[in-house]
Structure 1
Amino acid sequence: MQHANALNRLDRLPVSRFHKVTLLAVSFAYFFEFADINTFATTAPKLVDLWGISVDQVAYVTSLSFVGMFLGSVVAGTVADRLGRKRTLLLTTLFFGVFSFASAFSWDLVSLTVFRVLTSAGLAAMTVVAVIYVNEMYPSAVRGKYQAYAIVIGICGTPVTNLVASGVVPLADWTWRLVYLWGSLGILLVLFTRHLKESPRWHESRGDHASADAVLRDIEASVAAEHGPLPAPAPPVEEEPVTKAPLRLLLQRKYLLPTLLLTVLWVTQTIGFFGYSSWAPTLLAKEGFSVEKSVFYVALTTVGAPLGSYLAALVTDRFERKWCLAAFGTLIAVCGLLYGLTFNPVLIIVFGFLVNLFERGYTALGYAYSPELFDTRGRSLGTSVSYGLGRLSNAAGPLIVAALYNAHGYRSVFYFIAGTWLVGAIALSVFGPRTRAARTAVAPRREQDPVAG
């Protein structure tokens, strides 16, 4: 076997049951990632009452969680290159599920912090691997749409978790622990193990064309059984096999520039997104709303999240992703600022809904855009490092939010967050590469004469 030709063989496949089952598995992992990422935010107001913790202590726990996310992201890229995309996806999901389960048995703020840092490391690691996995398993022309579809389903974990929290947290002094047990159910991804295939592009990048061909033949057989004979793939493009991508690889110009741009994208997205989602319940409670109302209002606003991901699915493969990201980022800044300038419950819910809608659309677009800026050799490393640096930046984000709130009040927090989103939108508009032409170039391949699958 000279060359498995994984990219072109995958690109000419029609969407089939194989793609849908893969989508379901990735969506399941995303669901509990999005569920678990907000568990501390939804329980923090209760812990302020029970344990007497301060806004500054909430900030420190949140900050340390992002240090965990950075470490998890960077490690995930290396592990995914060494062990494979499928195995690493399963391992990272198991990791965050186990430590979310442990969080339910925390006995003080220190123990909860340790468990949340480890949970966060697993959450970020899983996200990096899932983004890469979808990028490598779906045809180029529709991968953005299916990345967004996975988020549409997965993002439901946010409003569901907030609604679960709003229902169980007020019941008794101990029921906040049930929120963390809920987040641990991501462990059940192991039920999908036999339905997932290893990325043939990962096999191919290691020079193992025989294994890549074996996986591709298995996929092609199932697709051909469903759709009939498959069109011939385009001829392969020879690439040097890669067994390890050292960190210094990112210093090369072809990798450095996209890594820097994506770092800006994920830094501004992380500070902007978690500035809203992690702090809204606590700040509303501090401004006079009851714990029950603050959690409930935030739960209602997160209903917009799945709709935002669906909106991203409609536009992501039709337009340049960089312009979609810039537009969504600007809208988030405007709606988020209006959210922070009102204390009317109806307007809080309306603008919070719009913030969640556009934020989750932005996330889906970012997940599709990021790995497209790298070739197979640099994809895992570049995606993981830029995403990890974005998460690491928010180690400072909560401390800045707490300092602004304590010094200048509630509204100053939202001026800061809106400005952060605008910085990201401007950077993407000016420096973001266009990727649509490369994606649509695969379409003519489907016009070739069909051959037996």
Structure 2
Amino acid sequence: MQQANSLNRLNRLPISRFHKITLLAVSFAYFFEFADINSFATTAPKLIKLWGVTVNQVAYVTSLSFVGMFFGAIVASGLADRWGRKRTLLWTTLWFGVFSFAAVFSWDVVSLGVFRVLTSAGLSAMTVVAVIYVNELYPATSRGKYQAYAIVIGICGTPVTNLIASAVVPINDWSWRLVYLWGALGVLLVFFTRHLKESPRWHESRGDHAKADEILREIEERVAAEKGPLPEPEPPVEEAPVTKAPLRLLMQKKYLWPTLLLTVVWVTQTIGFFGYSSWAPTLLAQEGFSVEKSVFYVALTTVGAPLGSYLAALVTDRFERKWCLVAFGSVIALCGLLYGLTFNPVLIVVFGFLVNLFERGYTALGYAYSPELFDTRARSLGTGVSYGLGRLSNAAGPLIVAALYNGSGYQSVFLFIAGTWLVGAVVLALFGPRTRPGRSRAETAEPKNTGTPIRG
């Protein structure tokens, strides 16, 4: 059977200008995803005063946004298999940019909520596709590091947006709209289109070996012109073309277990992180801090986010990703708990900084770990479903936070958030398979049990 041998041909490539341009494009998409994802959180304190929005209404808008994320992730996994990784990445980024722009013209909390749900669907869809795209284009020995590098750059969108929000939201009664205008700039990803290549592994998985070979030759010529002659790739492995992956595919034993495990990982990450980031400005304002101070304190804490992603880049291809995730999750639980136990502005910033640092490191590690638990056939579907279910879980998260705050007070919210992170860390420690850095299930044999590393 004819083979383009995409996996082995990509794996033997040195990192080159091609990889760096691809990294820049994905980072750009991530930047405006992270810039936009907390837009509602940064404007909610102003809307509470301006429109009389209640804490419960903030909870409902936030909850419905995560329902949008669920549908976005599920739809994106199917589109990425049907249309290709590159095309879907571009369209999902355009989607969230357009609806973020529409939010600029919101006239009440209902209209804003609708636009936020549609924006959130695009944000989640883009993330799923970007994770798969990086996994399939970069060499196995460095894909974790470059996945983290993309987030190092992209996550800067969070502190930049929060600092912009802290400056523009208080100006007057309409200036909060500029936050959504800023998030809409993600549509400028279209300028990277001609520099991006479709995943040859996607073409090959569909049996289109000629197209996969054509793209591989273009990439190899560019890399060889810059780096010199390339080593010979390892021999290809005979594989039948991958047919469309139905949802029931994930019920097969070899896919069901990683899907369930990753669902727990993304459920606890989503509730734990967004329980903190989406609510911190509002809850601080409710506890007596001014809107300006609450937004500014949270903006300072998010400076830790890029450093956390960089920390993940340093460890992801050196140590077992499973145990890195366990360690990061445990530290987040501790720092999140301490954040909720203090009202000292300095300590709020310090513990909030540490939460952001380790959480974004955790996210970068999770983005590298998740697709490695699936082969090419199930990678898009399994990643999309588990990530989507994680986002869907937070439809309940904001309602729980609002109920805890109204019923038991400020500190109970952070006890809940810390407990959520700890559950995720324990489940990973007990049941998470080891992948070994740089190796994925597509390249290795199925592990016989959860305590055995996935071996080549």
Which consecutive unaligned segments of at least 5 residues does structure 1 have? 444-453
* TM-aligned CA distance change 1:440 to 1:280, over 3 Å: closer
2:67 aligned with 1:64 = no
The aligned residue for residue 365 of structure 1 is: 365
CA contact (8 A) 2:304 2:354 kept: yes
Residue 438 of structure 1, CA deviation: 6.2
Residue deviations 1:157-187, cap 9 Å, x none?
Answer: 0000000000000000000000000000000
SS in 1 for 2:439: helix
The aligned residue for residue 349 of structure 1 is: 349
The aligned residue for residue 399 of structure 1 is: 399
The aligned residue for residue 47 of structure 1 is: 47
2:359 maps to a residue whose letter is: E
CA contact (8 A) 1:141 1:442 kept: no
The aligned residue for residue 375 of structure 2 is: 375
Distance 2:182 2:289 in 1: 26
Distance 1:148 1:357 in 2: 13
2:76 aligned with 1:76 = yes
TM-score normalised by the chain length of structure 1: 0.97
Distance 1:304 1:238 in 2: 46
2:307 maps to a residue whose letter is: L
1:152 maps to a residue whose letter is: V
2:192 maps to a residue whose letter is: F
1:356 maps to a residue whose letter is: N
CA-based RMSD? 1.3
The aligned residue for residue 130 of structure 1 is: 130
The aligned residue for residue 173 of structure 1 is: 173
Distance 2:57 2:3 in 1: 55
* TM-aligned CA distance change 1:442 to 1:268, over 3 Å: closer
* TM-aligned CA distance change 1:185 to 1:441, over 3 Å: closer
Q: How does 1:303-318 map to 2 (within 5 A)?
A: 303-318=303-318
SS in 1 for 2:245: coil
Distance 1:374 1:402 in 2: 37
Distance 1:239 1:172 in 2: 61
The aligned residue for residue 284 of structure 1 is: 284
CA contact (8 A) 2:166 2:299 kept: yes
* TM-aligned CA distance change 1:329 to 1:188, over 3 Å: same
2:334 maps to a residue whose letter is: V
Distance 2:376 2:257 in 1: 16
Q: How does 1:156-167 map to 2 (within 5 A)?
A: 156-167=156-167
Distance 2:260 2:4 in 1: 32
The aligned residue for residue 320 of structure 1 is: 320
Distance 1:330 1:147 in 2: 22
Residue deviations 1:302-349, cap 9 Å, x none?
Answer: 000000000000000000000000000000000000000000000000
- Segments of 4+ in structure 1 off by > 4 A? 440-443
CA contact (8 A) 1:69 1:391 kept: yes
Distance 2:189 2:146 in 1: 19
Q: How does 1:6-405 map to 2 (within 5 A)?
A: 6-405=6-405
Residue 439 of structure 1, CA deviation: 2.3
1:104 maps to a residue whose letter is: V
The aligned residue for residue 451 of structure 1 is: none
CA contact (8 A) 1:329 1:421 kept: yes
Distance 1:120 1:442 in 2: 30
* TM-aligned CA distance change 1:393 to 1:114, over 3 Å: same
Residue 239 of structure 1, CA deviation: 1.5
* TM-aligned CA distance change 1:121 to 1:142, over 3 Å: same
SS in 2 for 1:234: coil
Which consecutive unaligned segments of at least 5 residues does structure 2 have? 444-456
2:364 maps to a residue whose letter is: A
Distance 1:166 1:321 in 2: 36
Distance 2:102 2:440 in 1: 46
Aligned length: 443
Residue deviations 1:116-151, cap 9 Å, x none?
Answer: 000000000000000000000000000000000000
SS in 2 for 1:230: coil
Distance 1:161 1:27 in 2: 16
Distance 2:246 2:258 in 1: 17
Residue 243 of structure 1, CA deviation: 3.1
The aligned residue for residue 454 of structure 2 is: none
Distance 1:72 1:180 in 2: 19
Distance 2:435 2:233 in 1: 21
Residue 440 of structure 1, CA deviation: 9.7
Residue 437 of structure 1, CA deviation: 6.3
